[in-house]
Amino acid sequence: MSQNGLLLVNLGSPASPRPKDVKAYLKEFLSDQNVVTLPKWFWQPLLRGIILPMRTWRSATFYQHMWTQAGSPLTVYTKMMTQKVQQRLTTWDVQYAMNYGGPTIAEKLKSMHQKGDRQILVLPLFPNYTQSTHDTIIEKVKVTGVPARIIKNFYDQPTYQKLLARQVDECYVKGDYDAVIFSYHGIPMSMIHNGDPYEKECKATTEATAKYLQQVPRNKIMTVFQSKFGPMPWLKPYLKNTLMELAAMGKRNVLIVTPSFVEDCLETLEENDVQNYQTFRSSGGKVFDAVPPMNASDDFCEFIAELSRQKLAVNWGACR
């Protein structure tokens, strides 16, 4: 049967929270040279000899804490999103894959091609483009030889911006907040120096969303970056440092917005809700609340479906 296809691609998750599976996942993820750009001859001995032995147990503990009976929240919500988007694109073939772990991009694309999907869109579930999330997906798509269009970002879509603004407004009115912090996943500064547009796209996301906010004063909004890894400089300001500075200034009630993460994952459930919360409280902070990610909401799934319809209508080169 000839039909259109949509492949939603997320980051991935360990097969289980057991140390063995977490180590395998981390090894694949941190061996990606689009993520860690250091030369292999230098990085691989360091990764295998020091990083993995030290990081695996700690990461496994975090995964065990957030794991649900249905599995990893990121995987659970990705499956749910796929099902909901399929319900809205009834004549399409909607599938999902993971950049690391499974199901893989290659196996899904080949299966879709064999089923007769004639025009396939690949949508990485990250609003903002960056080398460290998108380039590996693009490379894996090309290696399959299956013709497909890549939707490289969607931060600039007004519907998405309005959805995000509405979520922020709904949470903001429930408390008395001193600051509303838009916190994006960080990347190394070296990538920015090499022309990665990620920083500009993140700041543009905050600015565009702010225009649709009805309840939040502009002077309370700030943009920061989180999830720094390794000793090299990453995008600043860092979320953790900002939280300590705000508490020191007497701004003890904060609301965190995490546009980089469209679904709950390790960064939202452990890094923010546990680690950064503890940092803020120990620094004198009082209220640390977070705007939930989209988490396969009906409105977000409708947006994904409509975005896919729009992208299919343009010429093949426009989404590559």
Closest CA to 247 of 290, 284, 287, 289: 284
For the chain, report the end-to-end CA distance as a whole number of angstroms. Answer: 25
65 is in an annotated binding site: no
Which of these, 92, 71, 93, 96, lies nearest to 82 by C-alpha position?
96
Report the DSSP beta bridge partners of residue 148.
120
Nearest C-alpha neighbor of 257 from the set 281, 284, 225, 285: 225
Angle at 189 between CA 187 and CA 190, to 5 degrees: 105
Q: Is 267 annotated as a binding residue?
A: yes
Contact 277/239 with Cβ under 8 angstroms? no
Q: What is the DSSP letter of 70?
A: T
- Tell me how far apart the 2 most distant CA atoms of the chain are, in Å: 63
Q: How many residues does the chain have?
A: 320
List 150's β-bridge partners, or say none: 122
Omega prior to 188 cis, within 30 of 0: no
Before 197, cis peptide (omega within 30)?
no
Identify whether the C-beta of residue 195 lies closer than 8 Å to the C-beta of residue 175.
Answer: no
**Environment class of residue 14 by beta-carbon count within 10 Å: exposed (0-12), middle (13-18) or buried (19+)?**
buried
For residue 225, what are the β-bridge partners?
Answer: 184, 238
Under DSSP, is residue 291 helix (H, G, I), strand (E, B) or coil? coil
Assign 3-class secondary structure to 95-118.
Answer: EEEEEECCCEHHHHHHHHHHCCEE
Annotated binding site for Fe(2+): 185, 267
Annotated binding site: 185, 267
